[in-house]
Amino acid sequence: RNQEAAENQEQLDQIVSLKKGDTVKGTIVKLEDNQAYVSIGYKYDGVIPVRELSSVQLDNASDAVQVGQEVECKVVSINDDKESLVLSKRAIDTENSWEELEKHFADQDVFEVTVADVVKGGLVADVGARGFIPASMVERHFVEDFSD
Structure confidence by residue, pLDDT tens digits, 95-147: 888 888 899 989 999 888 888 888 888 898 888 788 888 988 877 666 566 66
What three-state secondary structure class fits 127? coil
Lowest-confidence pick of 5-14, 27-36, 60-69, 75-84: 5-14
Distance CA 79, CA 61 (A): 23
Closest to 118 (Cα-Cα) out of 98, 144, 87: 144
Mean of the per-residue pLDDT values for the chain?
85
- Which residues does 23 contact at the CB level (< 8 Å), separation at least 6? 72, 73, 74, 75, 92
pTM of the model: 0.72
